[in-house]
Amino acid sequence: MQAQDQQSIPSPPLELRNYRLTEQLHQEELATVYRATHLTLDRPVQMHLLRRHDWISVSRFQLAARLSAHVSHPNLVPVIDAGHDEKLGDYLVTPQLDAQLLSTLLADGPLPAMLAIRITTQVAAALDYLHSQAVFHRDVQPANILVGAEGVTYLANLSLAASPDTPDLSSIDEADYLTPYSAPEQKLAQGEAGTALDIYSLGAVVYHMLSGEVPPTPGSDLPSLARRDPGLAPADRVVARMLAPQPTMRFTSAGAAVAALRQALRDQIDHATADMEESRWEATAEWLDNPFETAIGATLDDRFRDFVGGSRARADELHRRDVIRRLLNRWSQKGYFRRRALGQLIIPEQIVSYNVYFYELRTLYEQRLPPETRVRPQAPTDRDDNPRPPDLWEVTLPVELAFESLEERTEVLPNSIQVNNCPECMGAKYVRCKDCKGSGLLEQERKVSNPDRTTGKESVPSICPTCVGSSKQQCPQCKGTGGIAEEQVFRWSRRAKIFENSDDIDDLPALALKKRRQPVFSGTIDPYEGRWHSVAPVAELLRTVIQEAGKDTRIVAAELNIEGVPITEMDVLLDEKPHRLYIVGFDKEWIGDWSLLNSERVILAVIVVILALLFVLALILG
pLDDT at 159: 86
Question: Each residue of 159-207: pLDDT tens digit?
Answer: 888 888 777 776 776 666 788 999 998 887 655 688 999 999 999 999 9
Residue 232, Cα to own-chain centre: how many angstroms? Answer: 36
CA distance linking residue 491 with residue 73, whole number of Å? 41
pLDDT at 3 over 50: no
Contacts (Cβ under 8 Å, ≥6 apart) of 240: 222
Q: Does the pLDDT at position 264 exceed 60?
A: yes
- State whether residue 155 is helix, strand or coil: strand
pLDDT in tens, 552-599: 999 999 999 999 999 999 999 988 899 999 999 999 999 988 888 878
- Per-residue pLDDT band for 4 (boundaries 50, 70, 90) equals very low
Burial 272-287 (b: 16+ CB within 10 A, else e): eeeebebeebbebbbb
Q: What is the domain partition of the chain in residue ranges?
A: 14-95, 99-276
Q: How far apart are CA 496 and CA 407, in angstroms?
A: 11
Could you tell me the fold of the domain covering 14-95? Answer: Phosphorylase Kinase; domain 1 (3.30.200)
User: In this model, does residue 491 exceed pLDDT 60?
Assistant: yes
Query: Are 205 and 123 a contacting pair, CB within 8 Å?
Result: yes
Contact between 511 and 471 (Cβ < 8 Å) = no
CB 64 within 8 A of CB 82: no
Gap between the Cα atoms of 326 and 320, Å rounded: 11
Beta strand pairing call for 372-377 and 430-432:
unpaired
The pLDDT, as a whole number, for residue 385 is: 67
pLDDT of residue 1: 37
Burial of 466 (0-12, 13-18, 19+ CB in 10 A): middle
pLDDT value, residue 175: 61
Q: Nearest to residue 261, comparing CAs of 147, 119, 73, 136?
A: 119
**pLDDT tier, 139 (very low <50, low <70, confident <90, very high otherwise):** very high
Quote the mean pLDDT of the chain.
88
How does pLDDT run across 425-445, given as a tens digit for each residue? 999 999 999 989 988 888 888
Q: What is the pLDDT of residue 367?
A: 95
Q: How many angstroms separate the CA atoms of 308 and 459, rounded?
A: 97
Count Cβ neighbours within 10 Å for each residue of 71-96 and write b for 16 or more, e otherwise.
bebbbbbbbbbbeeeeebbbbbbbbb
Mean pLDDT of 230-256: 94
Q: How many CB atoms lie within 10 A of CB 378?
A: 20
Distance CA 103, CA 209 (A): 10
Mean pLDDT calculated for residue range 100-118: 93
Listing DSSP states for 278-296 in one string gives GGGB-TTEEE---HHHHHT
Indicate the pLDDT class of residue 2, thresholds 50, 70 and 90.
Answer: very low
Out of 40-49, 269-278, 358-367, least confident range: 269-278
**Going by CATH, does the domain composed of 99-276 fall within 1.10.510.10?**
yes
Tally Cβ neighbours within 10 Å of residue 441. Answer: 15
Q: 358 pLDDT exceeds 90?
A: yes
pLDDT for residue 402 is more than 50: yes
Q: What is the pTM of this model?
A: 0.71
The conformation of residue 192, written as its DSSP 8-state character, comes to: -
Q: Please, are residues 48 and 31 in contact by the beta-carbon 8 Å criterion?
A: yes
Which residue, among 60, 39, 61, 59, has the nearest Cα to 48 in the 3D structure?
61
